[in-house]
Structure 1
Amino acid sequence: MKILVIKSSPHEHSSSNLLAGHFIRGAKEKGHDITEFDAAHGNLHPCIGCDACRMSGPCCQKDDMEGVREAVLTSDMMVFVTPLYYFGMSAQLKILIDRFYSFNGELMAKQMKTALIVAAWDSGEWTMKEIEGHYMTLCRYLRFSNQGMILGTGCGTPAMTSKTRFPQQAYEFGKRIGM
């Protein structure tokens, strides 16, 4: 299976990227073809709502989204990876998802498999409620087939994250994908 992993932490050595690395290792061991895109360090501009694309592209903006669109449409699965920022996804990931507008129809028809990996400093039972709800709403609207979530609480730094159960869960999740 072709899996596109979209990372979005501004910090290269972040807790969310650490969890993504474990997922990727497990998925590669299972034989999946992995492509990574770093939304935090890519050249992406916010959707300007001009509707020039009419939801079927191309977008009038010329940036990395052209390549992301190709990667999305040729993949079997997307994995969204984000730190938890004020109980939602990073702005960098939100910019990328907002730009799905330019190929909404194609994306909906594809019924893409997706997953979510989040790392949060907080460890309260309510910490992931809002991002989980947002992700599930995206799945419903875009007809994504949710394959699962790693919601890493108590993962404020990579050192903290390494001491939790979440790296192992991410690795095992990667190994289970496609079964």
Structure 2
Amino acid sequence: MKIVVLMASPNTDGSTRILAESFAKGAEEGGHSVEIIDVCTLNIAPCTGCVACGYEGDCVQHDDNEIIRRKLLSCDMVVFATPLYYYGMSAQLKTVVDRFCAYNSSLNRRHLKSALLTVAWNSQDWTFEALEAHYKTLVRYINFEDMGMVLGYGCGTPSMTRAGKYPEMAYKLGRSL
């Protein structure tokens, strides 16, 4: 299986990357190919809502979102890797997701597998409720097959994350595919 990880943390060596790399290691050991795309390094503008794409066509914005589109339309699985920022995904990942608009029908027809990897400093039981609901709505709307979530509570620093159970959980999720 060909897997694309949309890594969306502006902290390039942070806890989100730890989970993404742990997942990738497990998936690769399971015989899958994995590409981690650091969306924070790409030039992707927000969707303008112009609908010139007709929800299935060329976007009027010519930027690096075309890279994401090509990758997602040729893979078998997409993994959303994001830190929790004010109880949602990072702005960088939200920008990418909003731009799904221009290839919504194609994504829907692909029936991709998907997963969510996320980390937060907070450890209250409600910490990930809003992000989890958003992810589940994407899964339902775009016809993804959810393969699982790793919700990293109390992962405020890379050392906290490495010392916890979440890298192993991400590894096992990747390995189980």
- When the two structures are superposed, what TM-score results if normalisation uses the length of structure 2? 0.98
* Letter aligned with residue 15 of structure 1: S
1:111, distance to aligned residue in structure 2 (A): 1.3
Residues 71-90 of structure 1 aligned to structure 2 (within 5 Å): 71-90=71-90
Per-residue CA distance 1:6-49 (angstroms, 9 max, x = gap): 00000110101111110001111111111121111111000011
Per-residue CA distance 1:71-93 (angstroms, 9 max, x = gap): 00000000000000011000000
Unaligned runs of 5+ in 1: none
The 1-side partners of 2:172 and 2:111 are apart by: 24
* Letter aligned with residue 76 of structure 1: D
The 2-side partners of 1:134 and 1:73 are apart by: 21
SS across alignment from 2:82: strand
- When the two structures are superposed, what TM-score results if normalisation uses the length of structure 1? 0.97
Residues 14-93 of structure 1 aligned to structure 2 (within 5 Å): 14-93=14-93
1:153, distance to aligned residue in structure 2 (A): 0.4
Per-residue CA distance 1:52-87 (angstroms, 9 max, x = gap): 110111111111111110100000000000000011
Moved >2 Å (runs of 4+): none
Identity of aligned residues (%): 47
The 2-side partners of 1:112 and 1:26 are apart by: 19
* Letter aligned with residue 164 of structure 1: G
Unaligned runs of 5+ in 2: none
RMSD value, Cα = 0.7
Which segment is superposed worse, 17-26 or 29-38?
A: 29-38
SS across alignment from 2:169: helix
Matched, 1:139 2:106: no
Matched, 1:102 2:141: no
